[in-house]
Amino acid sequence: MIAPSSDPRWERLRKAVALEPVDKVPVCLEGVAWCARVTGMTLEEFLSDATKATKANIDAFRLVGNADCANNPSFASSSLNFLWMTGVKRPGYELGPDEPWQVEESGLMTPEDYDRIIEMGWPAFQAEFLNERIRPGVLDEFLEFLGKGPSVVEQAKAADMPFLSMGIIIQPFEPLCGGRTFTQFILDLYRMPDKVEQAMQVMFPGMNDAAIAGCAALGSPGVWIGGWRSASRMLAQPLWDRFVWPYIKELTLQVDAAGLIPILHFDSDWTRDLPRLLELPAGRCVLSLDSMTDIRKAKEILGDHMCIMGDVPPALLSSGTPDQVREHCTRLIRDIGPTGYILQSGCDIPVDAPLENVKAMADAAEAAAG
Amino acid sequence: MDALCIAGFLGSGKTTILLEAARALTDGGARVAVIENEIGEVGVDGGYVREQGLPVRELFGGCICCTLQVGLVETLRSVRDSYGPDWVVIEPTGLAAPGDILGLVADTIEGLDLVRVLTVVDAERWSMLLEVVEPLITSQLESADVVAVNKADAVDDQQLAAVLAAVRRLSGDALVLPVSAATGAGMPALLRAMS
C-alpha cells in the first residue's frame, strides 16, 4: 500500500488507488524497452544488468519530466522465461544488439509434464524445466536479478523516482499455456481438463509466496498480477470460470492480505468478465488495461470499486502525433478520471515511440488539472 | 494498395490459403507482399511462405500483446514504401481478432484503399474450438467479409452442414464457402470471392 506522503506524486497515487479526489490525474510510465531506446542504451546493454536497466528507467523518467511514477523500475528477460516457461530470443545473443527481445513459444512442455508437476511439485519441476529445456543457467540469471532488488530500490529512491511494483506474479494458466503453446494448451483443456486442473491445484499453493513476500520486504507499493492468454476474449466462459478466475481472485486476496496493492495487469480483452472484479476488495486494487478491453465499460462497472489504469494505445504512442496523443489522453481523463484513474500507456510504451508523444501524455494530465 | 487480412485459429490452414490467394493475385498481374504476424511456433510460416517466392516481412513482439499491433503499422508502411505492392496479404496471429487490426490499419496507414477480411475456420475441429475458445472464434468471424470453412473434406455432409449453419449464424453478412485447401476443392470459388 502507499502511506500518506508529503510528496504530491505519492499522494496522488495513494488517492487514486483509494478512489479519493486528486489534484491531478497521476501519470505512470511503463515501457522497459522504450526507456532504453529513448536514452540511447542498446537493448543488449539494458538487459545485461539490473542496475543499467534501472538507470535507463530513471533517465527516461527524467526526460519526460512530469510523470508521477514508473511502473517497474527494472527488468530482466529471464523473468519472461520464468513467467511463461518459454524461450526468449535476446538482443546480443540470438538477435542483433538493439533488436527487441522476443518470446519464443515453441511447446517445450509435454502432456506428460502434468503428471511430473503433480509428482514433483511446481518449484522442483520449474527449476528443472528452466535449466534443462529452456537454457542452462537461466534460473540462476533470474535469481541474480531478483537478488539485486534492494539495490534497484535504493537506486530509484536516490533518483527520486516513485514506482508501483517490484514484481510480477501469475496464476497457473499462464505458465502452462506458455509452456505448452496456446494451441496445445486449449486442446489439453478439452481432452484432459481434470488432469490440467489437478496440476494447477498442485502448482497454486505457495506458487507466488516468495514473490509477494519479497515485494513486501522491498517496500514495493504493489505487485503485478499478470493476465495475458487467460483473457476473457480467449476462453469460453465455463473454462474461464474454472481455470482462470478462482486463481486470480485468490491471488488478489493474497496480495491484499500482504499489505500490497494488487495491480491487475490484464492484456487483451477482459470486457465480458469485468463484473467479476466486483468480488475483489474495494478501493485497494488497480486494473491496468492495454486498450483492448472497453475501458469506458470498465469505468461504468468498476468506477466506484477500483482504480483504473491505462490505456493509451501503443500504436498511437508509436505512430500518432503529439496532438493526437494529447487529445486522446484528454478524453481518457475526462471519461475515466479524475478520481480513481492513473493515466498510462496500454501495456508497454512501444520501443519506437517518440519522446514527444510520451511527453504529450504526461502534459495532458497537467493541462487537465489546470 | 489493398490489403487482405487472413484470420483464423492456429492450425486452421491460413498459410495454405494465403499462398493460394497470393498466387492467384500474382497470376492476375498484381504485385503482392506478405506480412506474417506470428506468435508461437515463431518463424515457421514466414520461412515457408518465403520459400514460395513471395516477399515476406515477419513481425515479432517482445511482449505477447500490444507490440505486435505497433509492429504491424510500421511494417505496413515499410512494405508500402519499399516494395509498392498492389496487394499486401496479412496473416495475423491466430490469437488476433481482425477487427482489432482493421481499425488500427484503417486509422493509421495512408494510401490503403481496401481492406478485406478472410477468416478461415477448421471444420474438423469446429465443435472442439467452439467449446473451448468460443469468444476468440466469434471475434474472428464478426468482421469477416468471406469465411472459408476449410477441411470440408475431413467431415461428413451432416457435420459440414452443421458447421456451415453455425458459421453463417456467427458471421453476419459474410459469404461462407466450404473448401479444402489440401485438395483444392472449393478454392476457385473462394479466390473469386476474395478478388
The pLDDT, as a whole number, for residue A100 is 82
The pLDDT, as a whole number, for residue A135 is 95
- DSSP, residue by residue, B72-126: HHHHHHHHHHHH--SEEEEE--TT--HHHHHHHHHHH-TT--EEEEEEEEETTTH
Q: Does A311 touch chain B (CB under 8 A)?
A: no
- pLDDT at B60 exceeding the cut of 60: no
Cβ pair B61:A183 closer than 8 A: no
CA–CA separation, A348 vs A2, rounded Å? 23
CA–CA separation, A88 vs A142, rounded Å? 13
Spans of all domains in chain A = 8-74+148-170+208-369
Cβ pair A190:B128 closer than 8 A: yes
The answer, as to whether pTM is greater than 0.90, is yes
Instruction: Give the position of cell 467479476.
Output: A276
DSSP 3-state percent helix, strand, coil across chain A (nearest 5): 55, 10, 35
The pLDDT, as a whole number, for residue A140 is 96
Bridge-based pairing of strands A102-104 and A87-89 is: antiparallel
CA–CA separation, B151 vs A335, rounded Å? 46
Q: Which residues pair with A95 in a beta bridge?
A: A91
The pLDDT, as a whole number, for residue A104 is 81
Overall size of chain B counted in residues:
195
Least confident of A127-136, B16-25, B74-83, B111-120: B74-83
Handedness of CA B156, B158, B162, B164 (dihedral sign): positive
Instruction: Give the position of cell 473462394.
Output: B190
Residues from chain A that touch B70, judged by Cβ atoms under 8 A, are 314-315, 318-319, 350, 352
Which among A103, A272, A318 has CB closest to B135?
A272
Which among B11, B73, B108 has CB closest to A183?
B11
Spans of all domains in chain B = 2-194
What number is the average pLDDT over the span B64-72? Answer: 57
Instruction: Give the position of cell 509428482.
Output: A119
- ipTM here: 0.87
Cβ pair A234:B135 closer than 8 A: yes
CA–CA separation, A265 vs A207, rounded Å? 18
DSSP code of residue A93: T
Burial class (CB in 10 A: 0-12, 13-18, 19+), A63: middle
Residue range B25-50, pLDDT digits in tens: 888 888 988 887 655 443 344 555 56
What number is the average pLDDT over the span B161-184? Answer: 95
What number is the average pLDDT over the span B79-105? Answer: 80
- Tell which residue, A197, A175, A11, A152, has the closest CA to residue A83: A175
The pLDDT, as a whole number, for residue B61 is 44
Cβ pair B66:A101 closer than 8 A: no
The pLDDT, as a whole number, for residue B47 is 55
List the single best residue of B70, B81, B104, B134 to mutate versus A (max A Cβ within 10 A): B70
The pLDDT, as a whole number, for residue B59 is 55
Q: Does A347 touch chain B (CB under 8 A)?
A: yes
- Euclidean distance between the first and the last CA atom of chain B, given in angstroms as a whole number: 14
- Tell which residue, A43, A79, A103, has the closest CA to residue B61: A103
Cell of B80: 508500402
Cβ pair B133:A291 closer than 8 A: no
C-beta separation of A368 from A25 below 8 A:
yes
Instruction: Give the position of cell 496532438.
Output: A323
Cβ pair A183:B10 closer than 8 A: yes
Q: Which CATH code, of 3.40.1180.10, 3.40.50.620, 3.20.20.210, 2.40.70.10, is assigned to A8-74+148-170+208-369? A: 3.20.20.210
Bridge-based pairing of strands A222-227 and A261-266 is: parallel
Q: How many CB pairs under 8 A join A and B?
A: 123
Cβ pair A236:B132 closer than 8 A: yes
The pLDDT, as a whole number, for residue B41 is 42
CATH for B2-194?
Answer: 3.40.50.300
The pLDDT, as a whole number, for residue B48 is 55
Which among B42, B67, B97 has CB closest to A314?
B67
Helix H or strand E encompassing A222: strand A222-227
C-beta separation of A365 from A343 below 8 A:
yes
Q: Does B127 touch chain A (CB under 8 A)?
A: no
The pLDDT confidence band at residue B56, using thresholds 50, 70 and 90, is: low
- pLDDT at B52 exceeding the cut of 90: no
Which among A181, A272, A314 has CB closest to B70?
A314
Average pLDDT, chain B: 82
Q: Does B99 touch chain A (CB under 8 A)?
A: no
Q: For helices B44-51 and B14-27, what crossing angle results, to 10°?
A: 30
Neighbouring CB atoms inside 10 A of A234's CB total 25
What number is the average pLDDT over the span B107-117? Answer: 80
pLDDT along chain A (370 residues), means of 10: 92 98 97 93 96 97 97 94 91 89 86 98 97 96 96 97 96 95 92 98 97 97 94 96 98 98 95 98 97 96 97 88 97 98 93 94 96
Q: Does A105 touch chain B (CB under 8 A)?
A: yes
